[in-house]
Amino acid sequence: MGRSLLVLFVLLGVAVLSVVLLADVFQKGIQEVTLPLRHENVIRQQAEEKQVDAALIAAVIYSESRFSDQTSEAGARGLMQITPETAREIEKLSGGTEFVLDDLSDPDLNIRYGTFYLRHLLDRFDGDQVAALAAYNAGPGNAESWGGSPMKVEDIDYEETRAYVQAVLEKQREYRHIYDLELGY
């Protein structure tokens, strides 16, 4: 009887461990679909180099492209959906001289460009994330016309941009909470 009980406990332990491991795999699979994270090494490196919150970078990428390289109808390209004109502005601001449009499809370069531009917008708007995100989505001129410092989400006149800023800020919190280790917190 003692040996049967031991075998039963071992089998029960294996079953519980299997359920726990499957639940973890299942949760990671759902997380990959609902809140993906890729290129975290580049995101961490750019966050540190440009002093931009890594979760903010990941949230912008998520909101712009869901971490999928694509080109929009407006011609914005790559993970951070940078338009060719914005890329040329980034090139001028950064002192670059060899911009090639196809570079925007390279995830590493796209994240570098996008983070540089995000840093530029944060500087332009004195660290105001709401204003910088509004400018990232609708252009700096529009963001400047929407109000004071700090800008409130409610100040944004364009419904699409207001929803974009709200979504990015929410995803930033989620990325910081769920991917704290991967993003270097």
> Are 53 and 77 members of one domain?
yes
Q: Which of 133, 143, 137, 141 is nearest to 170 (CA)?
A: 133
> Are 4 and 92 members of one domain?
no
Range of the domain at 25: 1-34
H or E stretch covering 57: helix 54-65
- What pLDDT was estimated at residue 114? 97
- What pLDDT was estimated at residue 97? 72
How many domains are contained in the chain?
2
Block mean pLDDT (10 aa), the chain, length 185: 67 62 48 80 98 98 95 93 92 81 91 97 97 97 89 96 98 96 92
26 domain-assigned: yes
- What pLDDT was estimated at residue 39? 97
Active site residue 64: yes
For residue 50, give the amino acid letter.
Answer: K
- What pLDDT was estimated at residue 74? 86
Determine the Cα–Cα distance for residues 177 and 102; give it in Å rounded to an integer.
34
- What pLDDT was estimated at residue 81? 97
User: How many Cα atoms within 13 Å fall on the side-chain side of residue 90?
Assistant: 26
> Are 89 and 160 members of one domain?
yes
- What pLDDT was estimated at residue 28? 52
5 domain-assigned: yes
Burial environment of residue 3 by CB neighbours within 10 A (0 to 12, 13 to 18, 19 or more): exposed
- What pLDDT was estimated at residue 104? 92
176 Cβ contact partners less than 8 Å away, ≥ 6 residues apart: 53, 55, 183, 185
- Which one from 32, 49, 64, 73 is the annotated catalytic residue? 64
Determine the Cα–Cα distance for residues 166 and 40; give it in Å rounded to an integer.
23
94 domain-assigned: yes
> Are 104 and 166 members of one domain?
yes
> Are 96 and 153 members of one domain?
yes
- What pLDDT was estimated at residue 68? 93
> Are 173 and 95 members of one domain?
yes
184 domain-assigned: no
- What pLDDT was estimated at residue 21? 56
